[in-house]
Structure 1
């Protein structure tokens, strides 16, 4: 399966949006990895859910796919976007991101998350494994969402919004 950057090849604006979104994704994945090391039951799940509930809307906004941005489209374009979202099958595009949506998305990687819970209790090596799994899990979910966003933008022939000003981007 091609990466999000490979999918955006040939479209400089789309490729730039992917790079900006990946930068956000990397930062959040590092935080998830750090939280995975702490041997407090459930802490990493809570951190992952919180990180994703903030990250997904930021990625959506980068691609012009937040609920507010979609509502501002003319009705014909809005319908095209909604059809594309349906074809892609994403539950995270154009919606208010709730804890339930994040949990539904993370169920696809449930085994990795369970392994991370067990691994963190093995001294040193287990914590490193848990951190690696935490990072990889968030990166996997984020990359999957990026690919979904790209497919929607391409299918709906949606014009990307201008990049967010650095002062607007939340870290």
Structure 2
């Protein structure tokens, strides 16, 4: 369900940012394990759950948007397109998540090589993974927030009594 007020929208944004931080900490911890590929698998798995959860909290999941009438759905998808997100209102697939991870490829590539440097390398890999996950997650939260805010503002404008000039 889409947020009904700006206050509710701000609460959702805040809770999603906290969720992203928790997941980023898990990602950073997974990156410190010196087994090649475990961090990438952990990140993909986390994002496969995180992105749909954020969408759902903002009322922008695929199922929630499917319940809208055709006209409203077209407007909402237009807003989603204007934000440039491929993750809002769509099924989140491994292909999409891997594309998302590739956007942060430089961070992930450095992380993979640094983890083999004793002590400092694993800490650097963990910090890079934390930063990359936080960046990806918060970017998605910000995209969802912008779309939900535009939808809410449009709805509130439509509900305001129109002043009739005589």
Off by >6 Å, runs of 4+ in structure 1: none
CA deviations on 1:133-161 (whole Å, 9 max, x unpaired) are 111111000011011111211233377xx
Displacement of 1:11: 2.6
Q: How do 1:154-165 and structure 2 match up within 5 A?
A: 154-157=149-152
Structure number, greater radius of gyration: 2
Displacement of 1:77: 1.6
For structure 1, the 5+ residue unaligned runs are 1-9, 160-171
Displacement of 1:63: 0.4
Does residue 1:31 correspond to 2:26, yes or no? yes
Normalising by the residue count of structure 1, what TM-score does the alignment of the two structures yield? 0.83
Displacement of 1:105: 1.1
Q: Give the distance between the partners of 1:77 and 1:133, measured in 2 at CA.
A: 40
Aligned residues of 1:65 and 1:94 also touching (Cα < 8 A): yes
Corresponding residue of 1:45:
40
Q: How do 1:6-85 and structure 2 match up within 5 A?
A: 11-85=6-80
**CA-atom RMSD in angstroms:** 1.5
Displacement of 1:123: 0.5
Corresponding residue of 1:145:
140
CA deviations on 1:94-152 (whole Å, 9 max, x unpaired) are 11111100011112110000000011001111111011011111100001101111121
Q: Which has the higher helix share?
A: 2
For structure 2, the 5+ residue unaligned runs are 156-166
Displacement of 1:37: 0.3
Normalising by the residue count of structure 2, what TM-score does the alignment of the two structures yield? 0.86
Aligned residues of 1:21 and 1:59 also touching (Cα < 8 A): yes
